[in-house]
Structure 1
Amino acid sequence: MRNYKILWADDEIDLLKPHIIFLKNKGYDVTPVNSGSDALDAIGSDVFDIIFLDENMPGLTGLETLSRIKENYATIPVVMITKSEEEHIMEEAIGAKIADYLIKPLNPNQILLSVKKILDNKRLVSEQTNMSYQQEFRGISMDINENLDFQEWIDIYRKMVYWELRIDETEEKDMAEILNMQKDEANAKFCDFIYESYESWLNNADIEKPLLSHRLMKEQVFPLMGNEEPVFVFIIDNLRYDQWNLMEPIISEFYSIESEVPYYSILPTTTAYARNAIFSGMMPDEMAKKHADLWVGEEEDEGKNNNEKEFLERNLSRNNIKASISYHKILQKNQGKQLVSNVNNLMSNDLNVIVYNFVDVLSHARTDMKMIRELAPDESAYRSLTMSWFQHSTLLELLRILSERKVKVVITTDHGTIRVKKPLKIVGDRNTNTNLRYKVGKNLKVNTDDVFNCKNPEDLHLPRPNVSSSYVFAQKNDFLAYPNNYNYYVNYYKDTFQHGGISLEEMIVPLIHLRPKN
């Protein structure tokens, strides 16, 4: 640890000599001064890491000195020290963005704690985080190799997301590579689990199974309706668990989390299948048969998610629910602004469903635009871009407004996304779809067993566009590439965020019930 330099301004500085000696013995350089003016002179001629500032000094008071310091040296942390416990002084100091607030008489360890909290926080957090993850690493590895059920996989994934976010906050990120290797191992085991379990979830009524996309509305939304409180369901397309965990503290300022019910997205983990299943309450093959006028197949060029409101209306009718509803898809900020201005009208509906497409747009933009790739070169930066959008979004604005109303709020998504790294060669006819994480078509050939090959789409409740059509799903962080122009294709799509296949990130997604605190 380098020797940090502390400036301590107090008109009774001589009485603080024992504390100064204590800090010097701990390895800190301390410069004592007797007034606010002397403090400003010292700052102008030397560099300090932290300033201790007495509030009650003759001449320039502590608060006046603090104001001058923040005007010219805003980044230097200041600890206000005072004998007074008056609330207005505390509020004024805190409003001026002090780093800490201490009340005399001072205790040496109290001072040391404040210094370490401010100056050594990142180092101490890094050391503790790395040590704690090392201790947990073995337990997670052992769990991954057990015969886990669907809930235990949710627990494992959330635990790894927790450590990913904690390690992301550390300075050196020493354990990040080890965690990524453990996530790869977990995803390999999870894919085996899905291969063994998924078909049974869909076809065996007698086994315990997770909440899946097509049951979401019936089990998690429809029961909330009819109690005189309008229900608002926000579907944030492509939202992963790590992104939700960063949004959660902001939302928790004005909402209580009543329940968190992670669910499994159906396959393929795309809007056309998973989100339409949410709205229709049906698996894709049933949608294609019973709602042929709404279902848009792989072979058709038109948008696959243009009939969500109609799917929802028919779902409500099938469940004998008569309700006033609204449906909104927000693609641009002006659409969100219009929705915010119309919030009073929404309050008269039993159900309001609002789809935000930004996160999905961001993942595609990162693939197609060099500038976005440079802004989000890795998982951490990708999360940061998502957070920046959320903090300035009409979604947050709308949530704040609703927190003052008597409403029920659900936040969820249709599927997640994964950063792909390993290409797998696949061959198909020219009508094969373009998604990198799954393919549906005739005569699909892939020279590896490292895929989920579904030759009978009916087994997974998927439509069969042609008699000989089959589905191939990429697993872990693989992606499917054609042999033609292979190297260009691989270089272009490697390290991009994709969805449609099988991974923890794509399939295990958040579903949150919120209650306004007010």
Structure 2
Amino acid sequence: MKSIHILWVDDEIELLKPHILFLEAKNYTISKCTNGADALDLIKEENYDVVFLDENMPGLTGIETLTEIKNIKTNLPVIMITKSEEEYIMEEAIGSKIADYLIKPVNPNQILLSLKKNLDHSRLITEKTTSNYQQEFRKISMDLAMVNSYEEWIEIYHKLIHWELELENIDDTGMLAILESQKQEANSLFFKFIKRNYEDLLIAHDRPVFSHMLFKDVILPELDTDKGTLLIVIDNLRYDQWKVLEPHLQPFYKKTSETPFYSILPTATQYARNAIFSGLTPLEMEKKHPNYWKNDTDEGGKNLYENEFLTAQIQRLKPGLKHEYYKITTSRAAKELDDNFNGLKGNDLTAVVYNFVDMLSHSKTELDVIKELAGDEKSYRSLTLSWFKNSPIFSTIQKAQKAGMKLIITTDHGTINSKKPTKVIGNREISDNLRYKVGRSLTFEEKDVYSVRNPKDIFLPTQHMNSSFIFAKEDLFFAYPNNYNHFVKYYKNTYQHGGISLEEMIIPCAIFEPK
């Protein structure tokens, strides 16, 4: 193993001989220097792994030397050592991106700990995370063998997300592959659970919160009609994506509660999001609002009446609640909403639908550049986070916080990277979605789908006589025999929704109070 090369810069370097001997005994190589000017010359000539830098030196001060070091080698770790505990010096050093800050007198073990923290950080985290996941892997495997309730599935899914986010930051890619295999097993078992229990869960006394129950059971009781509430529905947002967005709200909002809920089937916008805003199942929407509801094969947009659905639901549940609804599908519309934020302050509820993540998932299918940028789950999350931090939505959230508004963030369904095709045959009126199909005379692989012969059994409209629904399991997508190979190549490894998976069905609703 290559010895770590340290440059130690201190005008009293001879007094540090015991420390230097201690580190050399640990196989570190130490170069010594007594002033900032000489240190800069050495850094230009040599490749050091880390610099120990005294803050209080004659000539160039430690802070001045630090600034010049960063100009020469931006990524060279610098550990500042000082006698002073004055706050402004600490702030200057931290602002100059030091790796660590130690107060004299330092003992050798402090120095060693700082070195390990900065130079062995990645290795130590990898080893600890790997060890922890190996233990948890066995526990999750045992849980998967016994899980038999919707609450337990939420708990398992959260564990899998936690470890996916932990493992993506370590150097051992083998662990991530093992987790991926465990996720596949979980989705296989989750599909069987939904296939056996979905119909009963919809009507059970002890049932999960489903899409059509969310507003009445979760959102309405949390509304702040004094300062107002901002409800943001980010279309197509998976739980793992939410977990990488959430920390960026912490400077502005504190989370008071989070309710994981289940998207209804199909896990598609026209069903799930309409259900949230209407407070009704698709079958009830068709009966009560035939002028608003459209089936898959009907002409026209399927989510054009969300405001009308929301207004009708509010009239049923809390008449007089002042609300406004906005659907954002372009950055210009998002900017206009943000610019006109002051006009929202008089509302009890401002509901905003953002379609960006849905557009991102569809763009991955259609645009090669997005396929490259969102080639795997980690990059897909990263792209979502980059959008969130730089979008007008983030500015709107900050303005809502300053106005004292409550914040609720949720979604309508998730999405899954669809990797394997399964064949389906139907007539011309079969629906287009790749993860579910509705139509007559459907032919399919029984083992690959949850088939519902009578849609009313799961509160879905019967679009035609003898029409039925099928929902793809795990990461499958439906492909027609005609031009099969071209179809499969085009849609393989694209993000789709509408079927049955943990990613599509278990989704968040988080409640925040302004800080």
The SS at the match of 1:502 is coil
Counterpart residue number, 1:70: 70
Query: Is 2:215 the counterpart of 1:217?
Result: yes
Counterpart residue number, 1:138: 138
> Matches of 2:407 and 2:501 in 1, distance apart?
28
> Matches of 1:235 and 1:401 in 2, distance apart?
17
Counterpart residue number, 2:307: 309
> Matches of 1:79 and 1:330 in 2, distance apart?
47
The SS at the match of 1:186 is helix
Counterpart residue number, 2:21: 21
Shift of 1:226: 5.9
RMSD: 1.1
> Matches of 1:380 and 1:412 in 2, distance apart?
21
Shift of 1:196: 1.8
Shift of 1:172: 2.6
Counterpart residue number, 2:189: 189
Seen in structure 2, the aligned counterparts of structure 1 residues 447 and 201 have a Cα distance that, compared at 3 Å, is closer
Counterpart residue number, 1:514: 512
Seen in structure 2, the aligned counterparts of structure 1 residues 148 and 25 have a Cα distance that, compared at 3 Å, is farther
> Matches of 1:216 and 1:510 in 2, distance apart?
11
Counterpart residue number, 2:420: 422
Counterpart residue number, 1:391: 389
The SS at the match of 2:363 is helix
1:247 to 245, 248, 257: 245
Give the TM-score, by structure 2 length.
Answer: 0.98
The more displaced of 416-425 and 315-324 is 315-324
Shift of 1:442: 0.5
Query: Is 2:356 the counterpart of 1:358?
Result: yes
> Matches of 1:48 and 1:354 in 2, distance apart?
52
The SS at the match of 2:174 is coil
> Matches of 1:321 and 1:121 in 2, distance apart?
57
Q: 1:140 is matched by which residue type in structure 2?
A: I
Counterpart residue number, 2:499: 501
Any conservation in 2 of the 1:451–1:475 contact (CA below 8 Å)? Answer: yes
Shift of 1:13: 0.8
Instruction: Count how many residue pairs are aligned between Structure 1 and Structure 2.
Output: 515
> Matches of 1:511 and 1:411 in 2, distance apart?
6
Counterpart residue number, 1:106: 106
Shift of 1:227: 3.8
Counterpart residue number, 2:159: 159
1:455 to 453, 456, 461: 453
> Matches of 2:247 and 2:348 in 1, distance apart?
28
Any conservation in 1 of the 2:223–2:406 contact (CA below 8 Å)? Answer: no
Query: Is 2:122 the counterpart of 1:126?
Result: no
> Matches of 1:418 and 1:267 in 2, distance apart?
15
Counterpart residue number, 2:57: 57
How do 1:263-302 and structure 2 match up within 5 A? 263-302=261-300
1:232 to 230, 233, 236: 230
Shift of 1:319: 1.6
Any conservation in 2 of the 1:130–1:174 contact (CA below 8 Å)? Answer: no
> Matches of 2:423 and 2:11 in 1, distance apart?
75
- The runs of 4+ residues in structure 1 deviating greater than 3 Å are none
The more displaced of 220-229 and 126-135 is 220-229
Shift of 1:72: 2.1
The SS at the match of 1:453 is strand
1:408 to 383, 406, 418: 406
Residues 323-365 of structure 1 show CA distances to partners (whole Å, capped at 9, x for unaligned) of: 2111111111121111112111111001100111111100000
Shift of 1:224: 2.7
Counterpart residue number, 2:92: 92
Q: Percent identity?
A: 52
> Matches of 1:326 and 1:52 in 2, distance apart?
58
> Matches of 1:327 and 1:410 in 2, distance apart?
14
> Matches of 1:110 and 1:226 in 2, distance apart?
50
Gaps of 5+ in 2: none
2:432 to 420, 431, 434: 434
> Matches of 2:446 and 2:489 in 1, distance apart?
20
1:346 to 320, 344, 347: 344
Shift of 1:145: 1.0
